[in-house]
Chains A and B, each alone.
Chain A
Amino acid sequence: MKKVLVLVLLVIVGYFLTDTFNLIPFGENRIGNPQDEQTVAGYYLNNTVEKTSVANTVTAIVVNYRGFDTLGEVTVLFLATTGLGSILFRRKEDEEEIERINKPSSSLMQTGSRVLFPLIALLGIYVFIHGHLTPGGGFQGGAIIATGFLLMLISYKNFKAGHTMLNWVESLAGITFVSIGLWGLLTGGTFLENVLPAGELNNLISGGVIPIIYIAVGFKVAAELTGVLDILLNIKPKK
Chain B
Amino acid sequence: MNSFFLILLILFAGAGLSFVLGKISSIISGTVAFLSIAAASALFFTQIEMGSFIEFSLGGIQLQWGLNSYGYLFGIIVLGLGTLASLYSISYMQNKERTSGFYFNFVLVIAGMTGIIFANDFISFFIFWEIMTWASYLIIIYSGKNVKKIGIKYMIFSAIGAYSMLTAIVMIKGQYDTFLISDAINAGAFNFIDNIYIPILLLIGFGVKAATMPLHVWAPGAYNNAPTSFTVIFSGAMSKMGVLGMGLVLGHMFTADRSGSLTNFFSGFSVIYLQQTIGWLGGITAVIATLYALIQDDAKKLLAYSSIAQLGYITVGLATGTKLGVMAALFLAVVHGIFKGALFMVVGAVERQAGTTDMTKISGLIRKMPFTFLTALISIIALAGIPPLGGFVGKWMLYEALITESNSYFLVIVIFFSSTAAFLYSYRFLFGLFLGQEEKETEQVKEAPITMIIPMLVLAILLVITGAFPGLIFSPIATAMEFIGFKDVTWNMSVLNNVWGNEMNLTYLGITIGVVFVSIFAFITLKGLKGTRYVGTKDISTSGEIPYENENLTFQINFFQPFVRAAAPMYKRSMNKIWNELGNGLEALFNFTRKIYTGNGQTYALFVVIFLVLMLLFKDTLFV
A residues adjacent to B (C-beta < 8 A)? 2, 5-6, 9, 12-13, 16
Question: Smallest CB-CB separation from B603: which chain A residue?
Answer: A2
Question: Smallest CB-CB separation from A17: which chain B residue?
Answer: B616
B613: chain A residues within 8 A (beta carbon): 9, 12-13
B609: chain A residues within 8 A (beta carbon): 6, 9, 13
B606 contacts A12, C-beta separation under 8 Å: no
B616: chain A residues within 8 A (beta carbon): 12-13, 16
Q: Does B596 contact A (CB under 8 A)?
A: no
Q: Does B610 contact A (CB under 8 A)?
A: yes
Interface of A, helix, strand, loop or mixed by DSSP: helix
Complexed CA–CA distance, A13 and B615 (Å): 11
Contact residues of B between 593 and 612, Cβ < 8 Å to A: 606, 609-610, 612
B606: chain A residues within 8 A (beta carbon): 2, 5-6, 9
In the A-B complex, list the 6 residue pairs whose CB atoms are closest, starting with the nearest: A16-B616, A12-B613, A9-B613, A9-B609, A13-B613, A9-B610
A12: chain B residues within 8 A (beta carbon): 613, 616-617
B610: chain A residues within 8 A (beta carbon): 9
Complexed CA–CA distance, A5 and B609 (Å): 11
Question: Smallest CB-CB separation from A6: which chain B residue?
Answer: B606
B residues adjacent to A (C-beta < 8 A)? 606, 609-610, 612-613, 616-617
Would you list 8 pairs from A and B whose C-beta atoms are within 8 A, ordered by A residue? A6-B606, A9-B606, A9-B610, A12-B613, A13-B609, A13-B612, A13-B613, A16-B616
Q: How far is the CB of A6 from chain B (nearest CB, A)?
A: 7
Complexed CA–CA distance, A6 and B602 (Å): 11
A6: chain B residues within 8 A (beta carbon): 606, 609
Complexed CA–CA distance, A64 and B81 (Å): 76
- Given A5-B606, A12-B613, A12-B616, 13 extra CB contacts under 8 A: A2-B606, A6-B606, A6-B609, A9-B606, A9-B609, A9-B610, A9-B613, A12-B617, A13-B609, A13-B612, A13-B613, A13-B616, A16-B616
Complexed CA–CA distance, A13 and B616 (Å): 8
Q: How far is the CB of A150 from chain B (nearest CB, A)?
A: 30
Question: Smallest CB-CB separation from A2: which chain B residue?
Answer: B606
Q: How far is the CB of A223 from chain B (nearest CB, A)?
A: 32
Question: Smallest CB-CB separation from A8: which chain B residue?
Answer: B613
Complexed CA–CA distance, A2 and B602 (Å): 11
Complexed CA–CA distance, A15 and B74 (Å): 70
Complexed CA–CA distance, A9 and B612 (Å): 9
Q: How far is the CB of B618 from chain A (nearest CB, A)?
A: 12
Q: How far is the CB of A13 from chain B (nearest CB, A)?
A: 6
Q: How far is the CB of A215 from chain B (nearest CB, A)?
A: 40
Complexed CA–CA distance, A12 and B610 (Å): 10
Complexed CA–CA distance, A13 and B612 (Å): 8
Complexed CA–CA distance, A9 and B610 (Å): 7
Which of B606, B612, B616 has the largest number of chain A CB atoms within 10 A? B616
Question: Smallest CB-CB separation from B606: which chain A residue?
Answer: A6
Complexed CA–CA distance, A5 and B610 (Å): 9
A5: chain B residues within 8 A (beta carbon): 606
B617: chain A residues within 8 A (beta carbon): 12
Complexed CA–CA distance, A12 and B612 (Å): 10
Question: Smallest CB-CB separation from A15: which chain B residue?
Answer: B616
Q: How far is the CB of B247 from chain A (nearest CB, A)?
A: 60
B612: chain A residues within 8 A (beta carbon): 13
A2: chain B residues within 8 A (beta carbon): 606
Complexed CA–CA distance, A9 and B617 (Å): 11
Complexed CA–CA distance, A16 and B614 (Å): 11
Question: Smallest CB-CB separation from B617: which chain A residue?
Answer: A12
Complexed CA–CA distance, A13 and B606 (Å): 13
Q: How far is the CB of B264 from chain A (nearest CB, A)?
A: 53
A9: chain B residues within 8 A (beta carbon): 606, 609-610, 613
A16: chain B residues within 8 A (beta carbon): 616
Complexed CA–CA distance, A13 and B608 (Å): 12
Complexed CA–CA distance, A184 and B606 (Å): 47
